[in-house]
Amino acid sequence: MTARTIDPITLEVLWNRLLSVVNEQQVALMRTAFSTVVRETQDLACGVFDGRGRMIAQSLTGTPGHINAMATGVKHFLSVFPPETLAPGDVMITNDPWMTSGQINDMTVVSPVFKKGKVVAYFASTCHAPDIGGRLFSGEAREVFEEGLRVPIMKLFIAGEPNEPLMQIIRANVRTPDETIGDLYAQMSSNAVGAHSLLAFLDEFDMDDVEDLSDAIITRSERAMRDAIRQLPNGVYTNESWSDGFDEPILVRCTVTVRDEDIDIDFDGSSPQSKWGINVVLNYTHAYSSFAIKTTVSPDVPHNHGAFLPVHVTAPAGSILNCQEPAAVASRHIIGHFLPGVILGALQQVMPGEIIAGSADPIWISVWHGRENPGKDPFTFNLFQCGGMGARATKDGLSATGFPSGVAGVPAEVVESLAPIIQTKRELKPDSGGPGARRGGLGQYSEVIAGYDGPLAVSALVDRIDHPASGVLGGGAGAPGVYLVDDAIRPQAKAQIPLKSGARVRLDPPGGGGYGDPFTRNPDLVLRDVVFGYVTIAGAARDYGVAVDYIGRPDALVRMPTDYRIDAAATSSLRAARRG
């Protein structure tokens, strides 16, 4: 079969089959994974690559930083281990930040697929390891060497048997040996599940390899991506946003140039490489930049090598978005998660209907480390939380929903079954959604305490405490995040801090920004928000110019929609006053 002979109908059939193969791979990965990071929060990516190392399909979910970085990273494996150096049953691994997804916790595992003695494809997955040694996951390191064990591109399994010396080295260097090793087994197993299905598929269709199929997939995807870009007016669009940074704010500035059917995204003007562990490798910058373009310009185009080709991402060497060795990078997602929002903001002039207002952006990760009593093993637990998404042109933003990351939260009951910490609160935070004609998604109000008397430390990788999510086209900013100990002490974010016995840790992920002028929001929608407790009565007047009265019993526990009403006259004057 050659590329020319694959007619559109056969191509659709084969392509579908390939997608079902990678989804099988992901299902197996989640079902066999050990860490909550993989199985509950889905901080992972799965994909299949052709014999030349080009990604041809990815699984349905996962997180863009992993998917896209993995897609561009597999070529490094091929150069270290060309096909002739691989045997059936070999599995390769690395967590080198500069080759893959920019963080030493991210393990990429790649398995070749053999057919008739020849490598015909590769399956790969990237997962966030629950621990990789070094400092507790934080932004405190000054060099990557402090952040844990770096595994160069090596064989994890050799001809089907574990590479025991490597396994022993990993075990000896991490705080969660069973989980870290268990996840590597899951990655290996799921690649094998994918390979098994791919071989059955090749046999069924009498194909020797996937090269013609991959050519067809990549060519068509690239063409569709280019056609979509062509719809945009040529021009140069810029935007910037601030992260709280570690000890000083970090500027992320982008210039988006639309040139016919190509898009250049350049980050010149962004802050220089930081001395803390929040630096981003170019591979990861590229990953979130191309995600931003895809999600706005061409959400329907399948994601593969071809879809990346028209998007060109650059940042000066030494920039925080193209950091150089030995920069510390553990918390690179903090900065990386800002990129889609910044790029969407730049595109607001040309695609106001497709973009969204600023979101909470970085996912909130807090790493809890302690020991219940001297007789017990110490524990390390990663808690993931999400703030609000920005409002859309025609819809309110989604509350407590991660963007741009695709990861999920962890149920409180699962948290408490695995670690001796207690969540005492986890609710939507009123008035935290940025006001707008469309309101931003709400952030959360949450609190965690230790479930025992004994040593506990937390490292909270959180942001937007000083720099809230911005609104667009007249919309207001979302509420900033809150990170407090005992409601008073504001600890250093992105660093590990010891907690006193009985300490209460507030972790309120921020709200999303609003879209459009809040004083034009339909008062009935504002009333509904008050009834639902998304917006307070004071907030309705202050942020929206809508006067809502509560007319029910003052001490009532149950407050129904009929217990509230809009004061039309007061609303008119509030709204007029601002116009005036």
Residues in 294-333 at the binding interface with another protein, rule: CB under 8 A: 294-296, 299-303
Three-state secondary structure call for residue 391: coil
* 251 lies in the binding site for another protein (CB under 8 A): no
Q: Which region among 408-416, 499-507, 511-519, 539-547 touches another protein (by CB under 8 A)?
A: 408-416
Identity of the amino acid at 274: S
Only segment of 316-324, 424-432, 453-461, 493-501 that touches another protein (CB under 8 A): 424-432
Q: Are 105 and 174 in contact (CB under 8 A)?
A: no
Site size for another protein (CB under 8 A): 104
Nearest distance in Å: CB 340, another protein: 10
CA-based nearest residue to 422, from 477, 373, 491, 372:
372
- State whether residue 32 is helix, strand or coil: helix
Segment 514 to 573, residues that bind another protein, using CB under 8 A: 531-534, 556-561
Contact region with another protein (CB under 8 A), list: 95-103, 327-335, 413-421, 460-468: 413-421
Q: Is 395 in the site for another protein (CB under 8 A)?
A: yes
Give the CA angle between residues 375, 378, 384 to the nearest 5°.
145
- Binder of another protein out of 283, 366, 382, 399 (CB under 8 A): 399
Beta bridge partners of 319: 272
Out of 1, 11, 87, 158, which residue is the one contacting another protein (CB under 8 A)?
Answer: 11
* Least Cβ distance, residue 368 to another protein (angstroms): 15
Q: Within positions 22 to 41, which residues make up the interface with another protein, using CB under 8 A?
A: 23-24, 27-28, 30-36, 39-41
Is 42 a binder of another protein (CB under 8 A)?
yes
Question: In this chain, which of 51, 53, 64, 139 binds another protein, going by CB under 8 A?
Answer: 64
> Which DSSP state fits 453?
S
Residue from 1, 10, 52, 550 touching another protein (CB under 8 A): that is: 10
Among 2, 4, 5, 8, binds another protein (CB under 8 A): 8
| Residue placing its CB nearer to another protein in the complex, 54 or 76 | 54
Burial class (CB in 10 A: 0-12, 13-18, 19+), 487: exposed
Q: Alpha helix locations (H) across 53-207?
A: 64-80, 164-173, 177-204
State yes or no: residue 370 binds another protein (CB under 8 A): no
Q: How far is the CB of 55 from another protein (least distance, A)?
A: 15
- State how far the Cα of 557 lies from the Cα of 559, in Å rounded to an integer: 6
Give the contact letters, 444-463, x = binds to another protein (CB under 8 A), - = no: x--x---x------------
Of residues 72 through 131, those in contact with another protein by CB under 8 A are none
- Of 292, 432, 434, 436, give the one whose Cα is nearest residue 354: 292
524 membership: H or E segment, kind and range: helix 523-531
Full DSSP string of 403-448: -S-------HHHHHHHSSEEEEEEEE-TT-SPPSSBPPPP-EEEEE
- When the beta carbons of 255 and 401 are compared against another protein, the nearer one is 401
Stretch that binds another protein, among 54-62, 273-281, 473-481, 542-550 (CB under 8 A): 54-62
Q: What is each CA distance from 576 to 522, 530, 537, 566, in whole angstroms? A: 15, 21, 19, 16
> Which position among 386, 437, 460, 548 is part of the footprint of another protein (CB under 8 A)?
386
CB of 359 to another protein, least distance (A): 10
Is residue 334 close enough to count as binding another protein by CB under 8 A?
Answer: no
Judge whether 144 and 105 are in contact, CB under 8 Å. Answer: no
CB atoms within 10 A of CB 379: 17
From the CB of 164, what's the least distance to another protein, in Å? 11
The number of angstroms, rounded, from the C-alpha of 546 to the middle of its chain's C-alpha atoms is 36
Give 36 or 105: the residue with its C-beta nearer to another protein.
Answer: 36
